[in-house]
Amino acid sequence: MLSSEQVKQFNDEGMLCIPDFLSPDQIAQLSARAHTLLDDFDPSAHPKTLFSTSTDNHVGNQYFLDSSDKVSFFFDTDAVDSDGNLVYPKQVAINKIGHGLHLHEPAFEKVTFDDKVQGIAKSLQYEDPRVLQSMLIFKHPAQAKKIRDNEVPPHQDGTFLYTDPPSALGFWFALEDVTKDNGCLYYAPGSHKKFPIISRFVRTPKAPGTEMMGLADVHDPEPRDSLKYVPMECKAGSLILIHNQVLHKSEKNESDKSRFAYAFHLIEGTADYDEFNWLQVPSSGGTNFSKLFKD
């Protein structure tokens, strides 16, 4: 359970760091499994889908859409050359593994549905939280003195996981120490109270299968580029809670150390989650999301 002070900080700022949420054994288990997934990955058995988070070129194809309830692999934008060949070893070429780790990987399932996670959802007044998706996120260090293309621009999670009313909540677990040098999260405190969701990442029948759709009659009160972002450095084992409307980002990893993280999102089961959302379970269409609370 969160303390009243933690609930207030989250509600006021839109992000909250909880140190030592994972035990050393949990960190070791999740990290070991992450490395095993990278080591065992066969690039020839998967399309070389690049994961881009830019608003203008966010990833979207059938492999991406089908990943909602599977363990799928997405490459960094600089990991594949124009001929489709890997530029880097596979272990440092993957940007993300998702989006069904909580369904197929016992170590990640156990953390996702942990009693402490349930306690947080209860503290934040969720009635019937449902786990939508889960992912391993990698920021690999520079290779041969070349800084990798792994910056994530400012965004709101509610753009990609849209409900009415807004309800998405991000759980972001640091599996390694996270610093400004290796790509920690940055956020704009209080931005969730001022800046609404103005667009949605939705499915579309035309290629590539997804697009950004602006929301009618919803506008920012002021330019977003005026916001000031603060770093959220943390130690391995920390949990960062992310409000669906808080603006956050991360810079490139300019260090010689990797930055591995596990993240999942939940929504309120009583909120409306429509067929336009990119993520559907099953991927053909539906909202068969996992209940967080035990019956």
pLDDT in tens, 211-223: 999 999 999 999 9
Q: Give the per-residue pLDDT at 196.
A: 97
Q: Give the per-residue pLDDT at 24.
A: 99
Q: What is the phi/psi pair of residue 111, to 5°?
A: -70, -40
Q: Give the per-residue pLDDT at 144.
A: 63
Mean pLDDT confidence for 132-137: 98
CATH number at residue 262: 2.60.120.620
pLDDT in tens, 68-114: 999 999 999 899 998 889 999 999 999 999 999 999 999 999 999 99
pLDDT in tens, 54-75: 544 445 578 999 999 999 999 9
Query: Percent of the chain having pLDDT more than 90?
Result: 85
Mean pLDDT of the chain: 94
Pick from 122, 105, 151: nearest CA to 262: 105
Domain count within the chain: 1
Q: Give residue 52's pLDDT band: very low, low, confident or very high (50, 70, 90).
A: low
Task: Output the pTM of the full model.
Answer: 0.95
Domain that holds residue 121: 4-291
**C-alpha to C-alpha distance for 234 and 237, rounded to whole angstroms:** 8
Pick from 162, 221, 165: nearest CA to 190: 221
